[in-house]
């Protein structure tokens, strides 16, 4: 999904965030490709770790898995990499669709599985690395508590809200992914199948399956289901509509089936999701 954004303004926002927190921050597109970052380079610790090809691949895989999880659940993912550094990924959403991500991290946090050098040393000693240099970098870094990291999360959410509300970042409406998502969301309360989509966008089934799998990383019908659940989550958290009506509005007329697929995706029932969500507003 191609993004159009104000390069200078977003770059300045990333710089301000870094100056306040000391955390590297990067903008990624929907395909997990880095578009913009500050600082441009990785931290000294991570840069040295990634000089080892095996560790570099482990780092990339860890990030990829976390991006996939973020895309699946549609909300922030806070995780520790294989070396115990805290990483945070927050999705950027427009009209119920994830269009990109802000990621910050390479943060040394207290009370993690690698909160002392000896544990890191025991893990890294099998690799051909300059462990003395790594130790010096590690010991020079401040170990942060959870409250500062939560504050950084809040700042990123405010940045994302600002970007979305002021159109500083938008989707290229000429891309296939935008057109497909718009059609699905415009028809979310109706039955949608592959034949309908192929006819709408003038593709043979085989070609359409291949293209959409490359775009979304999952089958097109799984993507439709995820958009239904995302729309349902938005309605559950922002309205007092009966759950049966929410189900109908997102194209699932069977209440029991809706509850079943919602719980499978979110690990909680629609009722539990609404109860635990603090942003609900009466209408």
Q: Which domains does the chain have, with CATH numbers?
A: 3-171 (3.30.450.20), 176-276 (1.10.10.60)
Task: Give the pLDDT band of residue 280 (cuts 50, 70, 90).
Answer: very low
pLDDT tens, residue by residue, 115-128: 678 888 888 999 98
In this predicted structure, what is the pLDDT of residue 65?
A: 92
Local confidence band at 114 (pLDDT 50, 70, 90 cut-offs) = low
* Better-predicted residue by pLDDT, 56 or 142: 56
The confidence band for 281, taking pLDDT boundaries of 50, 70 and 90, is: very low
Check residue 84 and give its pLDDT: 83
The DSSP secondary structure of the chain, one letter per residue, reads --EEE-HHHHHHHHHHHHHHH--EEEEEETTS-EEEEESSSPPHHHHHHTTSHHHHHHHHHHHHHHHHHHHHHTS-EEEE-TTS-EEEEEEEEETTEEEEEEEEEEE-BTTSTT-SHHHHHHHHTTS---HHHHHHHHHHSPPBPHHHHHHHHHHHHHHHHHHHHTTSEEE-TTSHHHHHHHHHHHTTTS---HHHHHHHHT--HHHHHHHHHHHHSS-HHHHHHHHHHHHHHHHHHH----HHHHHHHTT---HHHHHHHHHHHHSS-HHHHHHH-TT----
């Amino acid at each position: 999904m191609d993004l159009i954004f104000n390069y200078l303004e977003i770059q300045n926002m990333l710089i301000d965030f870094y100056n306040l927190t000391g955390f590297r921050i990067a903008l990624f597109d929907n395909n997990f490709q880095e578009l913009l970052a500050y600082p441009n380079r990785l931290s000294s610790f991570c840069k040295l770790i990634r000089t080892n090809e095996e560790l570099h691949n482990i780092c990339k895989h860890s990030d990829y898995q976390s991006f996939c999880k973020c895309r699946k659940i549609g909300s922030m993912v806070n995780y520790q990499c294989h070396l115990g550094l805290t990483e945070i990924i927050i999705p950027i959403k427009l009209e119920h669709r994830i269009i990109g991500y802000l990621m910050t991290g390479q943060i040394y946090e207290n009370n993690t599985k690698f909160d002392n050098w000896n544990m890191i040393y025991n893990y890294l000693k099998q690799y051909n690395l300059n462990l003395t240099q790594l130790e010096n970098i590690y010991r020079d870094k401040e170990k942060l508590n959870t409250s500062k990291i939560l504050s950084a999360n809040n700042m990123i959410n405010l940045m994302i809200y600002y970007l979305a509300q002021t159109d500083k970042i938008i989707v290229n409406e000429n891309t296939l992914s935008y057109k497909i998502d718009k059609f699905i969301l415009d028809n979310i309360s109706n039955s949608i199948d592959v034949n309908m989509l192929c006819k709408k966008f003038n593709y043979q089934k085989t070609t359409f399956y291949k293209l959409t799998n490359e775009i979304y990383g999952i089958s097109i019908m799984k993507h439709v289901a995820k958009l239904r659940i995302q729309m349902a989550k938005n309605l559950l958290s922002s309205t007092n509509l009966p759950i049966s009506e929410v189900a109908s509005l997102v194209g699932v007329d069977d209440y029991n089936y809706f509850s079943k697929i919602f719980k499978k995706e979110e690990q909680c029932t629609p009722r539990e999701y609404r109860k635990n969500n603090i942003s609900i507003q009466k209408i």
